[in-house]
Amino acid sequence: MSTINQSGWRPTTPEKGDSDTSTFTGNRALMLEEPLIFEIGSTETTGVDFDFEPGMGAYEDRLGGLARTAPIGLPGLSEPETVRHYTRLSRQNYAIDLGLFPLGSCTMKHNPRLNERMARLPGFADLHPLTPVDSCQGALEVIDQLAHWLITLTGMHAVAMSPKAGAHGELCGVLAIRAALDARGEGHRKILLVPISAHGTNPATAAFANFTVEDIPATDDGRVDLAALKARLGPDIAGVMITNPNTCGLFERDMREISDAVHAAGGYVYCDGANFNAIVGRVRPGDLGIDAMHINLHKTFSTPHGGGGPGSGPVVLSQALAPYAPLPFVEKTAGGFRLVEEETADEHHAGTFGRMVAFHGQMGMFTRALTYILSHGADGLRQVAEDSVLNANYILRSMEDLLDAPFAKSGPCMHEAIFSDKGLPEGFSTIDVAKGLIDEGYHPMTVYFPLVVHGAMLVEPTETESKATLDQFIGAFRSVAARAKNGDPTVKTAPHFAPRRRLDETLAARKPVLAYKEPAVAEAAE
Amino acid sequence: MRYLPLTHADRKDMLSVIGAKTIDDLFVDVPGAAVLDGPIHGLPLHASELAVERHMTALAKKNLAAGDAPFFLGAGAYKHHVPASVDHLIQRGEFLTAYTPYQPEIAQGTLQMMFEFQSQVARLLGCDVANASMYDGSTACWEAIVMARRVTRRGKAILSGGLHPHYVSVANTMAKYTGDVLDTRLPVLGATPDTDDLIGLIDADTSCVVVQYPDILGRIADLSALADACHAKKALLIAVVTEPVALGAIKSPGEMGADIVVGEGQSIGVGLQFGGPYVGLFACSEKLVRQMPGRLCGETVDAEGKRGFVLTLSTREQHIRREKATSNICTSSVLCALAWSIHMTLLGEAGLRQLATKNHIGAIGASNVLSQVPGVELVTPVFFNEFTLKLSKEARPVVRQLADKGILAGVSLGRLYPGVESLENGLVVAVTETTTEEDVATLASALREALA
């Protein structure tokens, strides 16, 4: 792979007789095709310069005979080629900066650039995690201030900051439950009850932490079946993992009663806080009897999702679970902030279940989240909840005459509205409506989740969308839904105008190609 | 409240469309006792962009940034120069503010980048396939141990004394609850890692042996014999790389027979950031791929036969398998993976090798200068860009003393292994292309003073 494009990659060439719509390059004006770096780079090209070192290369190495001999096969590009490659790739992506991202349960809201600027201040961005604590007091103060906001907003007792993402926060919460039960000498409580509408991470997390999962059914109105839950409580139950507001977009009215019943039976209540943005500033989970809840910082506090991460999942804890919080954490003392780690965990923190990550968690996300929180203040955050709920109900009521809305009569929805594929003609399904929306210039809503609704379409507009944006989206959504209901065959073949038509996901799974191979190698493997 | 576009008039109009009198009508399902009637007491109200900027800048200034001091810290996080175009490109809104690519037709940018990242990681680590990133090196290490349990159906993992103590700590935390048995040990302040000693510990219950390469003291050793010994007993060899730049200079663990190679990718493209977000690397042989945790991107074609990319093999994942999933991981670290991939593309093989050479030469030079200081002994003669010094007194207070003078001298083993007397004089020193000769001279003279 030492010369450019040895692989023989070339863009799609025009078919004969199709010259009106085909181009020589395969590009279409601003829609540019982009090869892989392996097809355009070479192992001799580099986009970086190093200072000239007279003796470099002619030194005696100290590598103990382990110096690399075989080529690695890493392609390089010059700086201008690199900038173009990634800029071109970026244009194949939908993003919140381009338009509404109505993803239920995933909360894609505006990402303020002030957050980015603050996270890049050298005092935060260029700070080593093992730097002596006297040299990082400002960073510890950021963690402490964010912790204070999270505890106060949720009405809880303590917070574990280190979990790296929402699902990692779930793990932190259930490990705290495990540690508390063990401390009580009740290690036999091994069952976690999980409603069937839960995020898939909930049961996966429980299993990863060695709990046994049992499902709890939902009622017809989309909430946890309280009677079924109560009937299952007993001395073998460690607790319940519940999502509130739930994934049907509804507030669990019986939350207090659920918590009381679980506590009375000796268990703990874990709440999946993925949807906290719907209630922040209006309801404190601590007042509902919750023992542990993770907060996805990107969802409620606008840290960027970046195409699938990084996340950050601090976990707020009740008084009962606080002693078991993981290490490390920050403590305010008379002389400044100190870092409580393995060696400094005194009798006060003796119950800690241990360390979950190498360092202190997602500091870069903490800076962004704190910046966002300070910008909004207590009043702005309350407005966040109100506007997100208002926007979701506006969409629910603007669509329910056209699309089946299974819980339209279950009370107001919270921050997300749910629809089903009921009423679509034979051969048309949720996926067709979703792909149709792509042609209208929108990212589709969440589809086929939650599982309790057939062909679910879960729409979450968030609070950062204007009424004009919502009105245009509703118009597009209605148009696509109406075309599907009328059996318009072009909906079945959507998208027509995206960088790619429908992709063959079955082929990808049946014959997995997960890494680039030079054509000669790939052929030999056939 | 500059981020909220609804006007009072909009809100009124929308409530009337909904058929509600006030916003409170939309919160009727919240039990009365839990309703807050106004902004939470004791928290400040919203603030201007300028005010927030002042507040955060004041906090940032209370820290001693790595670039503002002679800097020698490593031990799992490294300061390297990141080209300006890396941060510029990851801040493009189409990358920064995109969602997980579940709708591949309008997410080819992220998907193609993930495929390229997987390919780069697999080649660098010397494996067939890699996933599209994990949270960080320490959690990737635990996931590898769980995967080895799944593959071998055995529950005992042997962890080398050269493995980062925080990684060991994470594994210990999890093993307490999962029933895995961990055989862990402490490093010995000497020239060679415990690679050969581990061979004798492998038995019929061993699922895997976990080694770090280079190890926590910066040492490197050939893993081939250990890999053979693992395979002879049907156990897996897991290698952990916390400084991937090293692989520009030394053989990859995959080449030496490691079955799973995990790593902390931070040192390429991702800043120090006080510990996160970082990017976990995870690679393995092709035959193990269905047991792999995390997200995978695969090549396919669209309805017109054009090449495209999709997330694939999701039948291993939590959203389909729920409690039977290979892992509960749902988020990866894609934005950091993007930074990693861009930096690696800028380097290319030629640049990576130059970078690695420069790191290694700089470290040799620094080790020569520092070991001339009375009271300093170099205990690790074979290393890449990080080596361990034995001081004539306890290293931890020395590090603190030097930090007060504005010198960030390295990571004392006393901080990493509190209470372990045999290690307390150890100082781990990392040297990269950002370290200057003046930095080394400053450290040498400060050490001379502190140890006098």
> Can you list the alpha helix ranges (DSSP code H) found in A305-461?
363-399, 430-439
Measure A295 CA to nearest chain B CA, in Å: 14
Please name the residues in contact with B156: beta carbons below 8 A apart, sequence gap of 6 or more.
B180, B181, B182, B183, B203, B205, B206, B207
Percent of chain B surpassing pLDDT 70: 100
Q: Residue B324 has what pLDDT?
A: 84
Facing residue for B107 by CB, picked from A93, A279, A466: A93
| Closest to B56 measured CA to CA, from A305, A368, A332, A128 | A368
Q: Residue B55 has what pLDDT?
A: 98
3-state helix, strand, coil in chain A (%, to 5): 40, 10, 50
> Can you list the alpha helix ranges (DSSP code H) found in B203-333?
224-232, 318-321
> Can you list the alpha helix ranges (DSSP code H) found in B20-61?
49-61
| Closest to B340 measured CA to CA, from B241, B412, B207, B427 | B241
β-bridge partners, A242: A271
Percent of chain B surpassing pLDDT 90: 95
How crowded is residue B413: how many other Cβ atoms within 10 Å of its Cβ? 28
Task: Give, as one character, the DSSP assignment of residue B66.
Answer: G
Q: Residue A494: phi, psi to the nearest 5?
A: -65, 155
Q: How far apart are CA B153 and CA B169, in angstroms?
A: 23
Please name the residues in contact with A380: beta carbons below 8 A apart, sequence gap of 6 or more.
B1, B3, B4, B45, B46
Q: How far apart are CA A111 and CA A375, in angstroms?
A: 12
Q: Residue B331 has what pLDDT?
A: 86
- The parts of chain A modelled with pLDDT lower than 50 are 1-4, 13-14
Q: Residue A1 has what pLDDT?
A: 42
Q: Residue A169: phi, psi to the nearest 5?
A: -65, -40
Facing residue for A74 by CB, picked from B73, B120, B335: B120
Q: Residue A233: phi, psi to the nearest 5?
A: -65, 145
Contact between B260 and B288 (Cβ < 8 Å): yes
CB-based contact A393 B59, cutoff 8 Å: no
Q: Residue A3 has what pLDDT?
A: 45
CB-based contact B36 A83, cutoff 8 Å: no
CB-based contact A114 B52, cutoff 8 Å: yes
| Closest to A329 measured CA to CA, from A476, A169, A140 | A140
For A165, the token pair is 């993402």
Q: Which of A91, A97, A128 is the best residue to mutate to test the B interface, defined by the most B CB atoms within 10 Å of its own CB?
A: A128
Facing residue for A76 by CB, picked from B130, B276, B348: B348
Contact between B98 and A95 (Cβ < 8 Å): yes
Measure A96 CA to nearest chain B CA, in Å: 5
Measure A312 CA to nearest chain B CA, in Å: 8
β-bridge partners, B311: B297
Burial of A69 (0-12, 13-18, 19+ CB in 10 A): exposed
Facing residue for B28 by CB, picked from A75, A125, A412: A412
> Can you list the alpha helix ranges (DSSP code H) found in A62-199?
79-90, 113-119, 122-125, 137-154, 166-183
Classify strands A237-243 and A292-294 as parallel, antiparallel or unpaired.
Answer: unpaired
CB contact B8 to A (< 8 Å): no
Contact between B362 and B245 (Cβ < 8 Å): no
Burial of A479 (0-12, 13-18, 19+ CB in 10 A): middle
Contact between B34 and A287 (Cβ < 8 Å): yes
Q: Residue A22 has what pLDDT?
A: 78
- The continuous run of DSSP H or E covering B144 comes out as helix B137-152
Please name the residues in contact with B248: beta carbons below 8 A apart, sequence gap of 6 or more.
A68, A72, B352, B353, B355, B356, B357
Q: How would DSSP label each residue in B158-208? A: EE-TTS-HHHHHHHHHHHHHH--EEEE----SSSS-SHHHHHTT--TTEEE
How crowded is residue A521: how many other Cβ atoms within 10 Å of its Cβ? 9
Q: How far apart are CA A508 and CA A518, in angstroms?
A: 18
Which residues 386-405 on chain B approach chain A with CB closer than 8 angstroms? 399-400, 403-404
Contact between B144 and B293 (Cβ < 8 Å): no
Q: How far apart are CA B61 and CA A123, in angstroms?
A: 6
Side-chain-facing half-sphere of A132: CA atoms under 13 Å:
24
For B108, the token pair is 């080819």
Measure A404 CA to nearest chain B CA, in Å: 17
- With beta carbons under 8 A apart, name residues in chain A contacting B276: 129, 164, 310, 357, 359-365
Contact between A379 and A414 (Cβ < 8 Å): no
Q: Residue B314 has what pLDDT?
A: 86
Rg (CA), chain A: 26
CA B364 to chain CA centroid, Å, is 25
Mean pLDDT for the stretch of residues B206-212: 98
Sheet containing B426-430: which strands, arranged edge to edge? B376-378, B386-391, B426-430, B411-412
Instruction: Using DSSP, state whether B378 is helix, strand or coil.
Output: strand
| Closest to A251 measured CA to CA, from B311, B31, B137 | B31
Please name the residues in contact with B64: beta carbons below 8 A apart, sequence gap of 6 or more.
A127, A131, A135, A136, B403, B406, B408
β-bridge partners, B117: none
CB-based contact A37 B345, cutoff 8 Å: yes
Q: How would DSSP label each residue in A20-38? A: TT--SSS-BTTB-----HH
- With beta carbons under 8 A apart, name residues in chain A contacting B414: none
Residues in chain B: 452
For A104, the token pair is 């239920």
Rg (CA), chain B: 25
As a whole number, the mean pLDDT across chain B is 96
Burial of A190 (0-12, 13-18, 19+ CB in 10 A): middle
The number of C-beta contacts closer than 8 angstroms across A and B is 720
Mean pLDDT for the stretch of residues B359-385: 97
Helix A467-485 and helix B8-18: axis angle, to 10°?
30
Question: What pLDDT digit, counting tens, does each position of B354-371 carry?
Answer: 999 999 999 999 999 999
CB-based contact A76 B67, cutoff 8 Å: no
Question: What pLDDT digit, counting tens, does each position of A198-222 carry?
Answer: 888 999 999 999 999 999 999 999 9
Burial of B153 (0-12, 13-18, 19+ CB in 10 A): exposed
Secondary structure, 3-state, A83-100: HHHHHHHHCCECCCCCCC
CB-based contact A72 B123, cutoff 8 Å: yes
In chain A, which residue's Cα lies nearest the Cα of B91? Answer: A116
Q: How far apart are CA B116 and CA B83, in angstroms?
A: 19
In chain A, which residue's Cα lies nearest the Cα of B410? Answer: A131
- With beta carbons under 8 A apart, name residues in chain A contacting B292: none
Measure A222 CA to nearest chain B CA, in Å: 13
CB-based contact B274 A135, cutoff 8 Å: no
- With beta carbons under 8 A apart, name residues in chain A contacting B321: 200, 204
Using CA of residue B416, residue B417, residue B419, residue B424, what is the dihedral sign? negative
Question: What pLDDT digit, counting tens, does each position of B262-312 carry?
Answer: 999 999 999 999 999 999 999 999 999 999 999 999 999 999 999 999 999
Measure B204 CA to nearest chain A CA, in Å: 24
- With beta carbons under 8 A apart, name residues in chain A contacting B371: none
Instruction: Using DSSP, state whether B298 is helix, strand or coil.
Output: strand
Contact between A146 and B307 (Cβ < 8 Å): no
For B44, the token pair is 């400040």
CA A61 to chain CA centroid, Å, is 45
CB-based contact A62 B33, cutoff 8 Å: no
Q: How far apart are CA A392 and CA B18, in angstroms?
A: 10
CB contact B417 to A (< 8 Å): no
CB contact B113 to A (< 8 Å): yes
For A56, the token pair is 């470099």
| Closest to B244 measured CA to CA, from B217, B216, B264, B224 | B264
Tell me the residue type at B127: C
Question: What pLDDT digit, counting tens, does each position of B217-251 carry?
Answer: 999 999 999 999 999 999 999 999 999 999 999 99
Using CA of residue A242, residue A247, residue A248, residue A252, what is the dihedral sign? positive
At B330, the pLDDT band (50, 70, 90 cuts) reads confident
Say whether pLDDT at B448 is over 90.
yes
Q: Residue A56 has what pLDDT?
A: 63
- With beta carbons under 8 A apart, name residues in chain B contacting A364: 273-274, 276-277
CB contact B249 to A (< 8 Å): yes
Q: How far apart are CA A387 and CA A193, in angstroms?
A: 32
Facing residue for B10 by CB, picked from A120, A306, A467: A467
Say whether pLDDT at B36 is over 60.
yes
Q: How far apart are CA A394 and CA B181, in angstroms?
A: 54
ipTM for the assembly: 0.97
